[in-house]
């Protein structure tokens, strides 16, 4: 016995392709906004709730399905509050036109000012034998570490860094997290590294924290030793040799914060922006960090 075949009509137009592409790009940028933050865990929790609701409807568990529906409804109302930092950052980028097109000249100016303030403050602190831990955020968000300390959202300056790491300051014990030209938080806790191959067992907690954070994120961390007054830079789970010259520190930071880009990507638009955000194998900076 043969079953009669049913005609299948597929009407896929160019409009459908544009619709799918636009939706995919929007979803991609929404994921970029929450990457590296606690919002990822929240989204995973919402996904679990949706799965439970789907299973309860499939098995006709009416009481559980009703409870889950009200729970998801209440959660949806609270989402704007939960994702307030990410929403604010996204709207700010849209207002500046930086969501789809990267202004590389503005990024270079921000990086130059970051390097100037951080390098100057680091050597001032080293001369005073004041320990410091300065984290410069890259693509991976560090919101969860900011929440472990004291939120500041203050304009970055070398004077403010000196004030924070003053030994009489209540915020000196911990890390400062810098994003663009803002000090997002101070007295923040960082994860310690257990990798004995990357960290000398004789180094202090600051150095282990710097390496530990760079093992998990793409941040660049400047460490000032309180005992020796020496300055090191941590990146990609590696710690540099001590740096004794401010100009050399600027060169190292410039190499870490300005990865080499192809000119075609620098002159591109949306496609170049997408390509530069695709994870690639880490390449050594121009001034190699040595352990």
- Please say whether the beta carbons of 179 and 138 come within 8 A: no
User: What sections of the chain are H helices per DSSP?
Assistant: 14-34, 39-58, 62-82, 84-96, 104-127, 143-146, 158-164, 205-216, 246-257, 263-266, 270-276
* pLDDT computed for residue 256 by the predictor: 86
> Cα 183 from chain centroid?
14
Give the H/E segment covering residue 154.
strand 150-155
Give the pair of three-digit tokens for residue 272: 């170049």
* pLDDT computed for residue 134 by the predictor: 94
Separation in Å, CA 65 to CA 55, 68, 188, 238? 9, 5, 41, 50
* pLDDT computed for residue 282 by the predictor: 39
* pLDDT computed for residue 173 by the predictor: 86
Tens digits of residue pLDDT in 153-165: 889 999 999 999 9
Spatial distance between the Cα atoms of 45 and 223, rounded to a whole number of angstroms = 36
* pLDDT computed for residue 160 by the predictor: 93
Predicted model pTM: 0.61
DSSP state letter for 155: E
Strand order in the sheet with 132-136: 150-155, 182-188, 175-179, 132-136, 220-224, 231-235, 238-239
* pLDDT computed for residue 268 by the predictor: 45
Give the pair of three-digit tokens for residue 291: 């352990």
* pLDDT computed for residue 92 by the predictor: 65
pLDDT tens sequence for the chain (291 residues): 555 555 556 677 888 888 889 888 888 877 776 665 666 677 778 888 889 989 988 888 889 888 888 888 888 777 777 666 666 666 666 665 555 555 566 677 888 899 999 999 999 999 888 989 999 988 777 878 888 888 888 899 999 999 999 988 888 888 999 988 889 999 999 888 876 655 565 677 888 899 888 888 888 999 998 888 889 999 988 888 888 888 999 999 988 887 633 333 444 444 444 444 444 443 344 344 443
Domains of the chain are 14-96 (no CATH), 104-259 (3.40.1700.10)
Four-CA torsion 112, 113, 119, 122, nearest 10 degrees: -150
């Amino acid at each position: 016995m043969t079953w009669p075949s049913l005609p299948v009509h597929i009407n896929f137009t160019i409009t459908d392709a544009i619709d799918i592409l636009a939706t995919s790009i929007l979803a991609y940028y929404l994921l970029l906004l929450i990457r590296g933050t606690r919002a990822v865990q929240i989204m995973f929790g919402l996904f679990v709730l949706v799965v439970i609701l789907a299973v309860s409807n499939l098995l006709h568990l009416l009481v559980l399905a009703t409870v889950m529906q009200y729970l998801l409804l209440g959660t949806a109302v609270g989402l704007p509050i939960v994702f307030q930092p990410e929403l604010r950052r996204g709207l700010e980028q849209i207002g500046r036109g930086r969501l789809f097109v990267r202004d590389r000249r503005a990024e270079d100016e921000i990086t130059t000012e970051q390097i100037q303030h951080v390098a100057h403050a680091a050597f001032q602190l080293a001369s005073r034998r004041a320990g410091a831990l300065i984290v410069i955020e890259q693509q991976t968000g560090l919101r969860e570490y900011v929440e472990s300390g004291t939120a500041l959202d203050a304009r970055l300056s070398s004077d403010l860094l000196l004030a924070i790491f003053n030994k009489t300051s209540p915020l000196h014990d911990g890390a400062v997290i810098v994003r663009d030209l803002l000090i997002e938080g101070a007295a923040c806790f960082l994860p310690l590294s257990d990798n004995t191959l990357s960290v000398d067992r004789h180094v202090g907690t600051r150095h282990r924290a710097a390496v530990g954070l760079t093992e998990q994120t793409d941040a660049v961390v400047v460490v000032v030793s309180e005992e020796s007054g020496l300055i090191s830079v941590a990146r990609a789970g590696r710690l540099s040799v001590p740096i004794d010259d401010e100009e050399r520190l600027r060169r190292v930071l410039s190499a870490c914060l300005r990865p080499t880009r192809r000119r075609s990507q620098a002159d591109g638009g949306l496609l170049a922006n997408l390509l530069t955000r695709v994870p690639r194998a880490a390449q050594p900076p121009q001034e190699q960090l040595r352990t």
